[in-house]
Amino acid sequence: MKIIKKSIQDFTDVITFESLRKFVESIDIDCVEYQNHIVNPETKGDYGRNIIELNPFECVLINWPAGVESGVHHHQGLFGYVIVLEGELDNISYKEENNKLIEYKSEKYIKNGIMPEADGVIHKLANRNKNNRAITLHFYYPAIESFEGMRIFNLESKSIGVLSAHAKTAKWDNSNDNQFKEIVENAFDYVSIEDFNSDKSHLIQNVFPKPNTEMINSMNSNYFSEQAKKYDFSDFNQPSRKAYILTVDELISKDIAGNKTKKHLDIAIGTGKRSIRVKKLSGLDYEIVGVEISEEMCKIANSRGLRTYHQDWANDDSHIGEMFDSATFLYAFGHIANQKNRLRSLKKINSYLNDNCPLYLDLFSLNNKNEWGPYATKAFEENNLEKFGYERGDVFYRKSGFNELAFLHYFELSEIKSLLNDSGFEIQWVKHIGYSKNPGQIVKSEIEGNFLVKAIKIKSIY
């Protein structure tokens, strides 16, 4: 920490939000020696602060034990940045409107992530990991020499407290009678992010920087395992999703019937319910072999009599040593972490398909005006997400009412064509199917619906 301390003391630029950002981004995080400077919280459930420097701006090292979060607090008259040195930290943002405190955005920052805290922001920081601590390095201007005057919000009692000079952290502590100068009871109505997005079944929560492939695979596995027992029900509990899935399944089953499939490979088979339905609709008695990244879903699929392997297809196909007459990769190809792994996955599918046999993919369209694609494009451009490792069309999200995050990539038709061509396939047809709008209907183009693609293996790659 001596190097950080000296760099701050040597800082001579005019301190602005932009100049402070450049300073923080110049820090080589891997060279920050912080272990001996970690301070434990004074009370259980709080976080530990160690002030490293106060002049010309503040640098403070904070220890967030597992499950600990700050109070919802208002930065007024100061700005700063937070670097995550270890673990992960959620940044939850709020706004005040008409006597309401509205939770409207949540982002996750992992190791090497740099979180901006603009002047005027109302937010809380939360280590939602139940097992591991998080360590963060904060830079503020002007320095927070005292918490006196800072407003914090109690979401349970709907109270606003103004901190006194005795407050040691921005966390509501009912046991400390000296913490507040003033408390206003019943000061607001709280609107949670689920209530604010009550018309949405899923909520975006991007991660900074974009995690590596291993972490994304783990996130996706945890996401689907969390929902495994309710997944089949949720498929048909949402009318738009039900209509979309039924149309996809009917189109594929008719095509498979014409192909006279004897053995079928289903990648991301989930609980196996869809695969069984497609087979029944086809009228054929073919064998199904499944691959699934979620261990819980894999168990359910196997309980239904399907031979299913628990593995990450893009990086592990060790159980597969046979050839197939058809393959599906439904509702999941976009969960693959990046273009490199998508191409690798398609090449592996190619190696297990007999010549001139079909692969069916359904994909979310980046240009579908009714879905997240245009939002993902806008966020990518406005927030320079490429700098954080994102590809255009990348989104992280969670299901409303659940905790685990998943990753999804939105596609353009040109991107799909390029991937399939480079992996030995030729597109035979593309159908556009409505999802949230005109669900299950065949629509005119990718600006109105998702893609259902049938591609034929025309050459072997390996």
DSSP sequence for 122-136: EEEEE---SS--EEE
CA separation for the pair 240, 138 (Å, rounded): 44
Kindly give the interhelix angle for 273-282 and 213-237, rounded to the nearest 10 degrees.
60
**Which has more confidence, 1 or 433?**
433
Instruction: Report H helices in 238-372.
Output: 239-259, 273-282, 295-303, 339-352
The confidence score (pLDDT) of residue 256 equals 94
Say which residues have a Cβ less than 8 Å from residue 136's Cβ, sequence separation at least 6: 61, 62, 64, 82, 83, 84, 85, 89, 125
Residue 319, pLDDT above cutoff 80: no
Please tell me the class of the 2-196 domain: mainly beta
> Strand 425-433 to strand 450-457: parallel, antiparallel, or no bridges (unpaired)?
antiparallel
- φ, ψ of residue 397 to 5 degrees: the values are -155, 170
The confidence score (pLDDT) of residue 237 equals 62
The confidence score (pLDDT) of residue 260 equals 84
CA separation for the pair 301, 204 (Å, rounded): 29
* CATH architecture, range 213-457: 3-Layer(aba) Sandwich (3.40)
Tens-digit pLDDT profile for residues 211-224: 999 999 999 989 98
Residues in the chain, overall count:
462
233 band by pLDDT with thresholds 50, 70 and 90: low
Decide if 2-196 and 213-457 have a common fold.
Answer: no
Domain boundaries, the chain: 2-196, 213-457
**Which has more confidence, 223 or 410?**
410
The confidence score (pLDDT) of residue 461 equals 83
The whole model's pTM is what? 0.90
